Amino acid sequence: MDFSPSIVYIVLDYNKYMSTYLLTSSPILLPVGQLLSGRRLRLGLSPAALGKLCHMSPGELEQIEQGRLVPSPSQAYALARALRMDCHRFCRWAVFQLLCHPQSLEHHVRAAAVTATN
């Protein structure tokens, strides 16, 4: 398991002091994005290949890796599974981020609304 509990603790502890969610490389999300990017590279996956495995666009994956987007729970599960990480721990982290920063839900709500209307 490469998803270090110490990184999770630092990320979760830091959330207590954040008042807003920023769409530009959040200091909370960036370490996790770097962890995902590093794991992807170690497995020899391109962003396009990982995106295809996870049913995500390369743009969404790039935003997650840059700390600009919180993955939805289903995206977090798919990412963790493809990257051979602890799926449940990473999903819990994503849900926690989405609950603590409701502004970050906008991307997922809009995507679901577009899908529902098509």
> What mean pLDDT value characterizes the chain?
77
Containing structural domain, residue 100:
5-117
How far apart CA 19 and CA 34 sit, in angstroms, is 23
Helix (H, G, I), strand (E, B) or coil at 38: helix
Q: Which pLDDT score, from 0 to 100, does residue 67 have? A: 86
pLDDT digits (tens, 9 = 90+) for 68-113: 888 988 999 999 999 999 999 999 989 888 888 777 777 767 776 6
Q: If pLDDT is split at 50, 70 and 90, which confidence band does 116 have?
A: low
Q: Which pLDDT score, from 0 to 100, does residue 79 have? A: 95
DSSP character at residue 61: H
Structural domain count of the chain: 1
Identify whether the C-beta of residue 85 lies closer than 8 Å to the C-beta of residue 1: yes
Q: Which pLDDT score, from 0 to 100, does residue 5 have? A: 43
- CATH code, 41: 1.10.260.40
Of 2, 75, 73, give the one whose Cα is nearest residue 34. Answer: 2
H or E segment to which residue 51 belongs: helix 47-54
pTM: 0.69
